Homo-oligomer: A and B are copies of this chain.
Amino acid sequence: MIGVCDAKDMLNKYLFNKLFNKKSYVEIYDSYGKVLAEDIFSTVDIPFFNKSDKDGYAVVNLNSKKYTIIDEVFAGDMRDLKIKNNECVYVATGAKIPKGANYVIPVEYAKKYRNELRLMGNIEESNIINIGEDIKKNNKVLIKGTIINERNIGILASLGIKKVKVYKTPNVGIISTGNELQYINEVNSKTIFSIVKKSNCQPIFIGCAKDDISDLKRKINKALESCDIIITSGGVSAGKKDYLSRVVSDMGNIIFHKVRMKPGMPMLFGEINEKPIFCMPGNVVSCLTCSYVFLLPFLKRMAHIPFSKKVFGAQLSEDIHSEYGMTYYRPVKLKNGMAYPTFKGSNLITSIAYADGLIEIKEDEILKKKGDIVNVWVFD
């Protein structure tokens, strides 16, 4: 039996040594939320021509008394026009600036009469976007590990990138175990499925296995075919039909089994065929607690997504007792700055279904008192 911190350390070390590093190309439209697996360098200047920032008139200088309008250019008109002193060309926003022009007089500063134009007032800016002003050729514009969002995707789009190399998110095989699943409704695969989606990975429900060594091995072998990581639930405690620890040591090796925490003590972590396997306790609240504490950060790290917690202080509404040497996790509901414990039992889904967050009571504590300010890890 190990402590929660040691268990976390072992998971981190495991991932550090066996970083999940598969890559794939995705279409830019499918890249939102994915993580770049390569640095992106600009291959072109953006813009690649001088471009008007305003609807207005391109001129060589601002000194002329009047300008003759000789042409008009709209965005998308790629002709190479030239202008001389005392000439001007109407340019729409985004239009290509004629050669020789140094300023755009915005329409609101221009007085037009037939094909002649006068500048009214003072212009302080050129109103021209120069070649490379947005993005310079050969610059590193996005670094490996960047999560693609609605803003930086504009960089990829500007460069005309159609497909982008991203980290593949692991396929996560989910197996529920227990003979009772023939009679009662199976819960854990749905909660784990959701945790996997929350971590941006791909859940695959493999099926339910009986409390039977060969059925367990069959289901695990099936998961190994298509999955990068396996999550089971149930059959991992000390009962007579809890075969998971035997199955994992037969097929691979156990890295740790049993953690000094409640709920969640029976948890097992191991490896089979170089793939990690989490065996979660069968009790629904234990399974969810271990998912929050261990699985979610592990999956996010596999997906190269930073893991962070939202932690808020709240005032505890009643005493919570715990045991020395055990880390306790207790779900709470938050209301008006108060944290109300909701735990009724580790096999009762309503202990956590309506909760807003988790309280951790560390190994060296035995009591959080009513009125204490406690840190609540708020679910998001």
A-to-B contact residues, CB < 8 Å: 28-29, 32-33, 46-48, 51, 53, 55, 72, 74-78, 92-95, 129, 133-135, 148-160, 178-187, 189-191, 193-195, 197-198, 203, 205, 211, 237-241, 282-284, 288, 291, 344-345, 347-350, 352-355, 379
Check if A75 sits within 8 Å of B353, measured CB to CB. no
Check if B160 sits within 8 Å of A239, measured CB to CB. no
Check if A191 sits within 8 Å of B77, measured CB to CB. no
- Nearest B residue to A193 via CB reads B29
Give A356 Cβ to nearest chain B Cβ, in Å: 10
Q: How many copies does the complex hold?
A: 2
What residues of chain B lie closer than 8 Å to A344, measured between beta carbons? 133-134
Taken together as a complex, chains A and B put the C-alpha atoms of A256 and B338 apart, in Å, by 44
Give A357 Cβ to nearest chain B Cβ, in Å: 11
Name A182's contact: one of B76, B148, B152 (CB within 8 Å). Answer: B76
Name A157's contact: one of B51, B182, B190 (CB within 8 Å). Answer: B190
Q: A154-B288, A193-B32 are in contact. Are A178 and B94 (CB under 8 A)?
A: yes
Pick from A53, A55, A150, A355 the residue with the most CB of B within 10 Å: A150
What residues of chain B lie closer than 8 Å to A348, measured between beta carbons? 129, 133-134
What residues of chain B lie closer than 8 Å to A159, measured between beta carbons? 185
What residues of chain B lie closer than 8 Å to A157, measured between beta carbons? 185-187, 189-191, 349
Taken together as a complex, chains A and B put the C-alpha atoms of A354 and B152 apart, in Å, by 7
Give A204 Cβ to nearest chain B Cβ, in Å: 10
Check if B134 sits within 8 Å of A74, measured CB to CB. no
Check if B160 sits within 8 Å of A185, measured CB to CB. yes
What residues of chain B lie closer than 8 Å to A75, measured between beta carbons? 178-180, 211, 241
What residues of chain B lie closer than 8 Å to A77, measured between beta carbons? 179
Name A180's contact: one of B94, B239, B349 (CB within 8 Å). Answer: B94
Check if A92 sits within 8 Å of B185, measured CB to CB. no
Check if B191 sits within 8 Å of A78, measured CB to CB. no
Check if A150 sits within 8 Å of B288, measured CB to CB. yes
What residues of chain B lie closer than 8 Å to A178, measured between beta carbons? 75-76, 94
Check if B151 sits within 8 Å of A355, measured CB to CB. yes
Taken together as a complex, chains A and B put the C-alpha atoms of A191 and B28 apart, in Å, by 10
Check if B291 sits within 8 Å of A350, measured CB to CB. no
Check if B76 sits within 8 Å of A211, measured CB to CB. yes
Check if A93 sits within 8 Å of B239, measured CB to CB. yes
Check if B240 sits within 8 Å of A349, measured CB to CB. no
Pick from A187, A194, A203, A238 the residue with the most CB of B within 10 Å: A194
Taken together as a complex, chains A and B put the C-alpha atoms of A148 and B349 apart, in Å, by 14
Taken together as a complex, chains A and B put the C-alpha atoms of A238 and B55 apart, in Å, by 8
Q: A29-B193, A29-B205, A198-B32 are in contact. Are A74 and B179 (CB under 8 A)?
A: yes
Name A353's contact: one of B33, B93, B154 (CB within 8 Å). Answer: B154
Check if B187 sits within 8 Å of A379, measured CB to CB. no
Name A154's contact: one of B93, B135, B180, B284 (CB within 8 Å). Answer: B284
